[in-house]
Structure 1
Amino acid sequence: MSSEPTIAAVSHARHGQITIGSGTDLAAAAGLGHVPLGLGEVPLAACDYPVVLIKDGATGAFRLVALLGFEPARNLYLIGEHWAATYLPHNVLRLPFCLGTPSGDALELCIDEASSLFGRTTGAALFAPDGSETAFLAGRRALLTKMLRDAEAADRFVNAIAAERLITPMTITLHFADQHQQDITGAYTIDPLALETLADAAVLKLHRSGHLAPIHAMIQSLGQLSRLEQLHNARGERQITQSAVQLHL
């Protein structure tokens, strides 16, 4: 597969004879240290991953993500061709499809033509002989439409907790068996003290907006750092003996 993805809008003229291999292009997620989440994914994702906030490098805006590893470009959950978690985030499940603007400003259903699943001899066709979309392609379009709405909900959630000053930076400290120590910064979480002292009216507003439950799920999800430790140590590399989280309140 090419190191640079080739994203093209899905069309009958270009992809009328294309077949997509079965499954999800997990190999494309091998170099991900985190993956964006929609707000509706948080309860399930929190059972497998640390759910945190990071800042978008281009805009500085906070983004809701699941941590996949301790390094920026390493996914500990991908072991060979197996994803070592119960829940597969939508931003992995959608691969090799995405929403993009290759033709201008309007969002279009696109596909990564460099994907290992693209153009397989067996799998799912994108278009029927009469030129209509197959159920497979319609399903992928529906998934991406749902993801777009869920991403917008995640943005509203982040704006709400930022407005209440509930976001705090965190440092993850890894302690290794060889006495080495590594500090990982750049992630943010919920400030529990700020949450505890929040005015009743603000708490009620967060609850009515459906934001209180994902707040608590994020806090609890930090326990999944032990899962990242296990996945790291299972690779037989320098062993982590403990990970600790320090909140910068």
Structure 2
Amino acid sequence: MSQHTILTPDAHRDLRVHSGHGETYGDGVMCCVTVPDEFRRVQNEYPILFRLNPDRDSFAALAMFGFENGENLFLDDGCWDARYRPLAMTIQPFLIGRPSPESRERHVHVDMASPRIGADGDLAVFDADGKPTSYLERVSEQLGQLDRGYQGSDAFFAALRRHDLIEPLAVEIPLVDGSVNRLVGFHAINEDRLRELDSAALAELHGEGHLMPVFMALASLSNLDALIRRKNRRISDG
């Protein structure tokens, strides 16, 4: 269970974080949240899919690491086998918090229940004088990037809905052991509908800054085949 608290030098002077990779540190997940501002970097490595939260009638973008809960096919003997890790993974165990949902104030919070926290962690958060280390400064900048991306996500998904560019996606995954996995409950860009948009609609998307993320999300789908190959190698290797 998470245990979020505001990060302060007085309370967390000796806090240390593990920089390694692996299920031990909470990396055993099939996906993480990403944001349109990050799509260009994410699409080089991972499929980008969308998931609808029916209770809030809102979409979230996800960078996919596997096909089953708890499966991260990019983990390999303590290494993350990709040129880029999404911000939502890189900033852990930190997050942005607000005093209240309506507040515009932002504070750096830390999840004290995170497995990345430990006395033998290799990264210090504050120095001996209680000042942020270069590590914390870097994380703070990444938190800011992610928070700004969150703020722009609603407009992005509103534009996709306005132009009917989101469609449900069902993927069948043929595996070397003869079984077939199915990836369901996700959405993706409707390429045919995108091709049908007239110049005015494309200009609107471009003017609002949404066209590039749309193309990046669409291009990322080519990574599904690579992810399937990772899955089959994992099965073959036992």
Instruction: Report the TM-score, using the length of structure 2 for normalisation.
Output: 0.86
Task: Determine the C-alpha separation between the residues in 1 that align with 2:123 and 2:80.
Answer: 22
Checking the alignment, whether the CA contact within 8 Å between 1:18 and 1:118 is kept in structure 2 is yes
Unaligned 5+ segments in structure 2 are none
The equivalent of 2:146 in structure 1 is 147
Q: How does 1:77-226 map to 2 (within 5 A)?
A: 77-101=74-98, 105=101, 107-121=106-120, 123-226=122-225
8 Å CA contact 2:73–2:230 kept in 1: the answer is: yes
CA deviation vs aligned residue, 1:24-51 (integer Å, no higher than 9, x gap): 5553443321111121211121111111
Kept in 2: contact 1:25–1:115 (CA 8 A): no
Q: Structure 1 residue 190: deviation in Å?
A: 1.1
- Matched residue SS, 1:235: helix
Q: 1:19 touches 1:118 (CA, 8 Å); kept in 2? A: yes
Q: Secondary structure at the match of 2:222?
A: helix
Query: Which residue number corresponds to residue 30 of structure 2?
Result: 33
Question: Identity of counterpart residues, as a percentage?
Answer: 24
Distance 1:12 1:205, change over 3 A: same
User: Match of 1:219, as an amino acid?
Assistant: L
CA distance in 1, matches of 2:21, 2:111: 10
Cα distance in 2 for partners of 1:176, 1:203 equals 39
Separation in 1 of the partners of 2:169 and 2:154?
Answer: 20
Deviation at 1:179? 4.3
Which amino acid in the other structure matches residue 84 of structure 2?
A: Y
Q: Which runs of 5+ in 1 are unaligned?
A: 240-249
Would you say how many aligned residue pairs link Structure 1 and Structure 2?
234
**Cα pair distance change 1:165/1:149, threshold 3 Å:** same
Once residues 180 and 133 of structure 1 are traced to their aligned partners in structure 2, the CA distance between those partners, rounded to angstroms, is 50
C-alpha contact 1:20 1:125 (8 A) present in aligned 2: yes
CA contact (8 A) 1:16 1:131 kept: yes
Distance 1:15 1:176 in 2: 47
Deviation at 1:64, TM superposition (A): 1.1
Q: 5 Å matches for 1:67-78? A: 67-78=64-75
Residue type matched to 2:4 in 1?
Answer: I
Change (3 A) 1:77 1:53: same
1:26·1:92 contact (CA, 8 Å) conserved in 2?
Answer: no
CA drift at 1:138: 2.6
Contact 2:26 2:116 in 1 (8 A): no
- CA shift for structure 1 position 162: 1.2
Question: RMSD between aligned alpha carbons?
Answer: 2.4
- Separation of aligned partners in 2, 1:108 and 1:20: 19
1:74 offset after TM fit, Å?
1.5
Higher mean C-alpha displacement, 183-192 vs 108-117: 108-117
Take 1:179 and 1:26, find their aligned partners in 2: how far apart are those partners? 28
Instruction: Give the alignment's TM-score, normalised by structure 1.
Output: 0.83
Change (3 A) 1:125 1:206: same
CA drift of 1:121 comes to: 3.9
Partner of 1:231: 230
Match of 1:17 among 10, 14, 18: 14
SS in 1 for 2:234: coil
